[in-house]
Amino acid sequence: MTKKKPIELDPDIWVGWAHLFTPLTKLADSLRVEEALNLGKLNQAAKKLLYKIQEKNADLLSCKVRALQLDKSVIQSILLDVKSEAPKGQGFNYRRRFLEVIEVGNTLGRFDIGIPYVPAPLPAMPPSPFTHLNMQKRAKIDPLLKKFNQSLGDASSMSLEAWWGQVLLSATLNGALVDSVFLMELVKSLVEGKCDPQFRWVSLYPIKGKNPPRHPALRRWFIDPVTRLILIRSIHERHAIKPRLHGPSDGQNIYRFISAYAKERGFDEQLPRGIKALLDGARARLNFHMPPWLVEYACDRLVSTSLPEHAWQRLIHPPSQYLTDLTKREPVALAGPHL
């Protein structure tokens, strides 16, 4: 039976690394640049974590290091060790604090290390969607989905309200747009031309609540193939004329348009009675086609935003030239008493 190798830490470890275990409010204080960490106050788990870092690069922990440079791959490897050695549920916090120490070390001149990425916490795991109630909701819209797909082959004329109903029902059933506010915003964006010329996406600015923000967050909806075909086939004929809104709420107006389409195409009996039942069934159906995180985003239960227009344009039309010399970062003035 072999004995465990004892943890032998270098006694000359910078005090800033205590931030990993207990957040320090004055981490950037220049008076603590070469102060050593009191290892006697650390528990065994903390010492083990520091030992893991020491194995990868002992100079990173040292008090007297100046302008230390490390390859990005070394920092990424250490971040994996920090995550694995952190207490349960604290992986994000420990990795974030590790990078905060690196950033302060850069500011103080201890390090000259690039930060490869900033970890972000994952949202809580959503509950299982496969419940009896959700299966009932999904079953109620199965006949509607079948009739709607059949109706797409009917090229006869329809009213303006029915045309909007066709677009909105397709966006709900095929495009995962399952929120009445988002659906009404789709109408506004199409009318105002806030969409890609080829109908690859539409820019939505949904506003909810009694106190709307001054600058609503952009939510770019990428149009599904069926809805895109409907728009390309008929948008130029109708010029996306704004429909008349009669109901007091977005949900009632959306349901009226969808009802008009279902009635003109002869399948209004398959339509659930009310916008809530329709959207509930569409949300339940999404779980058979999308992972739970994406369903939560589609249902607006998780906050998200989209890249601005100029960022998407840069992705679609990448630059022909790239700069290889990065802009130098100006030294940050340190807070604290002047000596």
* pLDDT per position as a tens digit, 184-199: 999 999 999 888 888 9
Round the average pLDDT of the chain to a whole number and report it: 85
Tens digit of pLDDT for each residue in 81-115?
999 999 888 888 899 999 999 988 888 888 999 88
Query: Tokens 């995550």 — which residue?
Result: 83
Residue 323 pLDDT:
64
Q: Which fold has domain 132-316?
A: hpI Integrase; Chain A (1.10.443)
Q: Cβ(297)–Cβ(219) under 8 Å?
A: no
At residue 253, does pLDDT exceed 50? yes
Tokens (6 digits) for 37: 């960490």
Confidence class for position 337, pLDDT limits 50, 70, 90: very low
- SS3 for the chain is CCCCCCCCCCCCEEHHHHHHCCCCCCCCCHHHCCCECCHHHCCHHHHHHHHHHHHHCHHHCECCCCCECCCHHHHHHHHHHHHHHCCCCCHHHHHHHHHHHHHHHHHHCCECCCCCCCCCCCCCCCCCCCCHHHHHHHHHHHHHHHHHHHHCCCCCCCCHHHHHHHHHHHHHHCCCCCCHHHHHHHHHHHHHCCECCCCCEEEECCCCCCCCCCCCCCEEEECCHHHHHHHHHHHHHHCCCCCCCCCCCHHHHHHHHHHHHHHHCCCHHHCCCCHHHHHHHHHHHHCCCCCHHHHHHHCCCCCCCCCCHHHHHHHHCCCCCCCCCCCCCCCCCCCCCCC
Q: State phi, psi for 304 to the nearest 5 degrees.
A: -150, 165
- Answer whether residue 6 shows pLDDT above 70: no
**Domain locations in the chain?**
15-108, 132-316
Look at residue 145 in the predicted model and tell me its pLDDT.
95
The pTM of this model reads 0.64
Question: pLDDT for 21-66, tens place per residue?
Answer: 988 777 666 546 678 888 888 889 999 999 999 999 989 998 888 8
